[in-house]
Amino acid sequence: MPASDKTPPARSTPVRKTGSARGPQVRPATEGWTQQKDAEGRPLLQFASPKRGKPPVHLADLTPAERVEKVKELGLPGFRAKQLSTHYFTHYTSDPAHMTDLPAAQRDELVAGMMPPLMTEVKRLETDKGDTIKFLWRLHDGALVESVLMRYPGRITLCVSSQAGCGMNCPFCATGQAGLTRNMSTAEIIEQIVRANRAIADGELGGKKANDHSMERVSNIVFMGMGEPLANYKRVMDAVRIMVAPQPDGLGMSARGITVSTVGLVPAIRKLADEDIPVTFALSLHAPDDELRDELIPVNSRWKVGEALDAAREYFDKTGRRVSIEYALIKDMNDHPWRADLLASKLNSRGRGWVHVNPIPLNPTPGSIWTASEVHVQNEFVRRLNDAGIPTTLRDTRGKEIDGACGQLVATSEDEAEAAALV
């Protein structure tokens, strides 16, 4: 679930701005699109995935034992499952031409049965001198999703999507405006990583030659692409299990490098805390008071700030993993000094040393109500939290030049046309 640069597509809605002794207050509102409402006039929340044709079952949807069974059903000995897993999770390939250890006569059929195509690359955009790549993928049913690959000193991070669209209807978020198309399957989540690893192995990240960094691969995952990951809980957790399973059964990644974020689905946060996988947990808070958060994050109408923070604290208690609070700084909307103080007080009232805050400057979008806080305001917000004893660091917003930052991951009509051309 996204947290950073949110830029709605147009800027026509009038700004509702009210002044007070505590500084100007801009209220959240959609710009250029109409938020879907429920019968009571509140923003519609969609938790259940609409029924659509399921993606084909893939090796990455199955446990190692199920893979063996399926290979046997296809008429081959069970040990072939391990060979296929090695090709997929270690060599990042689904191309039968590269699988010369499999019998030539049955190779194509076996690969088609175990690794059906899941997504087609529609296009990619690069920025940061090639160190950031945004991929647009078309799924089997035409749904479009994106992932963003970013090289940082000492790590390579992939921002993955967990749903096509999103049902949480946040007014600042381009993804949310189209509603939830469907949940992604476990294999569709994993395939984003495998395809990114293939691109890295082929030397496509940072424009270096393959043999310069052929040992490199994605080291960090953030679930901050399209979708609310905890609304697709089972498939996301199955995907996390495959990420951390040793190769060749899975990708052999460290759980600590995996960040699962949410806008605050409290029962699912509690469930996550009970899993025996120490992922990093991030709560996209964006406002410390219910009055603003009810408008900014519609799911707050279901679970309030206090409940979400209690659940986040419980996550720390059960896992020992420090929680991240994501906070997009939006000019005159949520960046007031008193809100920094209120946030610090709510976090400190739940104990010390369990949390850090990542304010994320919004993209500057002049003329929109959704624009960046001024730099001195950002600095003051950070200073107040740090002075109150809450470790706080402004987060990098890589990829914003290509609309690849969280919350901007929405397919445009141009993307739709390119995808249609591939069918």
- The residues carrying an active-site annotation are 146, 406
Contact status: 269 vs ligand SF4 (CB under 6 A): no
What torsion, rounded to 10 degrees, do the Cα atoms 140, 145, 151, 155 define? -80
Tally of CB atoms within 10 A around 152: 14
Among residues 30, 85, 157, 175, the one that binds ligand SF4 under rule CB under 6 A: 175
Contact status: 1 vs ligand SF4 (CB under 6 A): yes
| Residue closer to ligand SF4 (CB basis): 2 or 55 | 2
Do 341 and 388 meet the contact criterion of CB atoms below 8 Å apart?
yes
Contact status: 146 vs ligand SF4 (CB under 6 A): no
Among residues 145, 173, 265, 311, the one that binds ligand SF4 under rule CB under 6 A: 173
Looking at the DSSP bridge assignments, the partners of residue 209 are: none
Candidates 41-49, 134-142, 171-179, 305-313 — which segment interacts with ligand SF4 by CB under 6 A? 171-179
Written in H, E and C, the secondary structure of 70-93 is HHHHCCCCCCHHHHHHHHHHHCCC
**Total of residues contacting ligand SF4 (CB under 6 A):** 13
| Residue closer to ligand SF4 (CB basis): 35 or 219 | 35
Contact status: 328 vs ligand SF4 (CB under 6 A): no
Residue among 185, 249, 259 nearest 218 (CA): 259
DSSP states along 106-129: HHHHHHHHHS---EEEEEEEEEGG
Contact status: 397 vs ligand SF4 (CB under 6 A): no
| Residue closer to ligand SF4 (CB basis): 179 or 337 | 179
Q: In the bound complex, what is the minimum distance in angstroms from residue 180's beta carbon to ligand SF4? A: 9
Contact status: 171 vs ligand SF4 (CB under 6 A): no
Candidates 23-31, 161-169, 355-363, 367-375 — which segment interacts with ligand SF4 by CB under 6 A? 161-169
56 prior amide bond cis, ω within 30: no
Q: In the bound complex, what is the minimum distance in angstroms from residue 154's beta carbon to ligand SF4? A: 28
Helix count and strand count (H, E) for the chain? 11, 13
Candidates 117-125, 129-137, 162-170, 302-310 — which segment interacts with ligand SF4 by CB under 6 A? 162-170
Contact status: 166 vs ligand SF4 (CB under 6 A): yes
Dihedral sign (CA 155, 156, 162, 166): positive
Amino acid at 136: L
Phi-psi region of 32 (alpha: psi -120 to 50; beta: other; left: phi over 0): left
Q: Which residues bind ligand SF4 (CB under 6 A)?
A: 1-2, 166, 168-170, 173, 175-176, 227-228, 263, 407
